[in-house]
Structure 1
Amino acid sequence: MKLLLAFLPFFFSASPAVEPLSPHGIQAAAAYSAAHGGHALLVKQNGKMVHESYTNGHSKREPHRIYSGTKAYWGIMAFAAEKDGLFSFDEHVADTITEWRGDRRKSQITIRQLLDFSHGLEPMFGLHENTFPDRTTAALKAGAVAAPGKSFIYGPAALQVFHELLARKLEHKQTPTRYLERKVLGPLGLSSQRYLPDQHGAPLLAAGFMQTARQWSELGTWMLRQEEVFMKLQGSSVNAAFAFGFWNNHAAASKAGREVDAESMLDRKWQQQSWRNACLSRSAPADLIACIGSYGQRLYIVPSMKLVVVRLAKDSKPNDAALLKLLFSKGP
Structure 2
Amino acid sequence: MMRILAFFIFLTSSPAVEPLPAERIQAAAAFSAAHGGHALLIKQNGKTLHESYTNGHTKREPHRIYSGTKAFWCLTAFAAEKDGVLRLDEPVSETITEWQGDKQRRNITIRQLLDFSSGLEPLFGLHENEYKDRTVSALKASLVGTTGKSFIYGPASLQVYHELLGRKLREKKTTPTRYLERKVLGPLDLGSQRYLPDQKGTPLLAAGFMQTARQWCELGSWLLKHEEMVSQVKTSATNRAYGFGFWNNHAAEAASAREVDVEDMLDKKWHEQSWRNACLCRSAPADLIACVGSYGQRLYIVPSMKLVIVRLAYDKKPDDAHMLRLLFERR
Report the TM range for the smaller structure's normalisation.
over 0.9
1:35 aligns with 2:65: no
> Displacement of 1:330 after TM fit?
4.5
> Displacement of 1:16 after TM fit?
3.5
Q: What SS class does the counterpart of residue 236 from structure 2 fall into?
A: coil
Q: What is the TM-score when the length of structure 1 is the normalising length?
A: 0.94
CA deviation profile, 1:95-120 (whole Å, cap 9, x unmatched): 10011111112111100000000000
What corresponds to 1:143 in structure 2?
142
**Alpha-carbon distance in structure 1 between the residues aligned to 2:108 and 2:253:** 31
- Taking the TM superposition and a 5 Å limit, the aligned residue runs for 1:1-332 are 15-171=14-170, 173-330=173-330
Name the aligned partner's letter for residue 197 of structure 1: P
Q: What SS class does the counterpart of residue 275 from structure 1 fall into?
A: coil
Name the aligned partner's letter for residue 196 of structure 1: L
Relative contact order, higher structure (CA 8 A, sep 6+): 1
**Alpha-carbon distance in structure 2 between the residues aligned to 1:256 and 1:114:** 29
Q: What SS class does the counterpart of residue 292 from structure 1 fall into?
A: strand
1:155 to 1:118, Cα distance in 2 relative to 1, 3 A: same
Name the aligned partner's letter for residue 292 of structure 1: V
Indicate conservation of the 8 Å contact 1:105/1:147, yes or no: no
Unaligned stretches of 5+ residues in structure 2: 1-11
Larger radius of gyration: 2
Indicate conservation of the 8 Å contact 1:24/1:329, yes or no: no
Name the aligned partner's letter for residue 100 of structure 1: W
> Displacement of 1:14 after TM fit?
6.0
Indicate conservation of the 8 Å contact 2:284/2:329, yes or no: no
> Displacement of 1:146 after TM fit?
1.5
Indicate conservation of the 8 Å contact 2:227/2:303, yes or no: no
**Alpha-carbon distance in structure 1 between the residues aligned to 2:126 and 2:209:** 16
| Deviating 4+ runs (over 4 angstroms) | none
1:14 to 1:135, Cα distance in 2 relative to 1, 3 A: farther
Name the aligned partner's letter for residue 143 of structure 1: S
1:105 to 1:290, Cα distance in 2 relative to 1, 3 A: same
CA deviation profile, 1:179-210 (whole Å, cap 9, x unmatched): 00000111100010000011111000000000
Decide which moves more: 163-172 or 25-34.
Answer: 163-172
Unaligned stretches of 5+ residues in structure 1: 1-12
Q: What is the TM-score when the length of structure 2 is the normalising length?
A: 0.94
1:122 to 1:252, Cα distance in 2 relative to 1, 3 A: same
**Alpha-carbon distance in structure 2 between the residues aligned to 1:298 and 1:330:** 22
Q: What SS class does the counterpart of residue 188 from structure 2 fall into?
A: coil
Q: How many residues align?
A: 319
